[in-house]
Each structure stands twice: as C-alpha cells, then as structure tokens.
Amino acid sequence: DQQVKQNSPSLSVQEGRISILNCDYTNSMFDYFLWYKKYPAEGPTFLISISSIKDKNEDGRFTVFLNKSAKHLSLHIVPSQPGDSAVYFCAASGGSQGNLIFGKGTKLSVKP
C-alpha cells in the first residue's frame, strides 16, 4: 500500500506562471518531508524540505506547504521557468522508517 501518493502523473504550465505539485501521505508518524527533482539519466537531486513542526518553508522560487491534519503537502514554484521541466518526487521519513519513502513522481513541463 502506497504511503506517499502523487496523484498527478504530469503537469503542464506556461513559463512565468505558478506550478503547484501535490502530495498526500497516509502514515501519521512521518515527520520530515522532502521534494526531489530528477532530470533524465540523472539521479534525483534535493530541492527543498520541511519538518512537521512547520507549515511552510521557502527557498527562492520554491515554497513547500504542509497541512498535517489533511496529510497533504504541496510544492509551489513561482515563477516557473523552462529549466524547471523535470520529474518531481515527494518523499517522507519518520516513525519506524529509517529510510525515505517516495511517491511515483509528477512530470512537470514548463512551456516557453
């Protein structure tokens, strides 16, 4: 059973607009959440994270929001740029999980 779910396999956005990628989780023991970005033929690279004691973390154009009651987090990218086109993975850890649990990813395409 999937503990981290990314229900949108793909998202297309116009350059300059906001991209919103969503992620849901089922394990209430998760206390640390990360977003990774992956280009073809490369390994995932860390983008931004958030601890469960916060509800928002911002880093430049990237902001992650956490809603613990809804077990939902989202990644906002604004403004979106063509170089942001990649697959974005949501991941979580905590509780008895010593490792990171990943979602299936959302492929973002930013059109010029």
Partner 1 sequence: GAGVSQSPRYKVAKRGQDVALRCDPISGHVSLFWYQQALGQGPEFLTYFQNEAQLDKSGLPSDRFFAERPEGSVSTLKIQRTQQEDSAVYLCASSVYRDATGELFFGEGSRLTVL
Name the minimum Å distance from CB 8 to partner 1.
Answer: 13
The strand pairing partners of 28, in sequence order, are: none
Binding of residue 1 to partner 1 (CB under 8 A): no
Name the minimum Å distance from CB 14 to partner 1.
Answer: 25
Q: Judged by CB under 8 A, which stretch of 12-20, 39-47, 61-69, 78-86 contacts partner 1?
A: 39-47
Q: Which residue has the tokens 């992956």?
A: 38
Which amino acid is residue 47, in one-letter code? L
Binding of residue 102 to partner 1 (CB under 8 A): yes
65, two tokens: 């929001």
Cβ-based neighbour number of residue 84 at 10 Å: 18
Judge whether 86 and 77 are in contact, CB under 8 Å. Answer: no
Task: State which of residues 1, 42, 70, 83 lies at the interface with partner 1 (CB under 8 A).
Answer: 42
What's the CA gap between 91 and 100, in Å, rounded?
6
Task: State which of residues 8, 22, 27, 49 lies at the interface with partner 1 (CB under 8 A).
Answer: 49
User: Interface with partner 1 by CB under 8 A: which residues?
Assistant: 4, 6, 32, 34, 36, 41-46, 49, 89, 93-94, 97-105
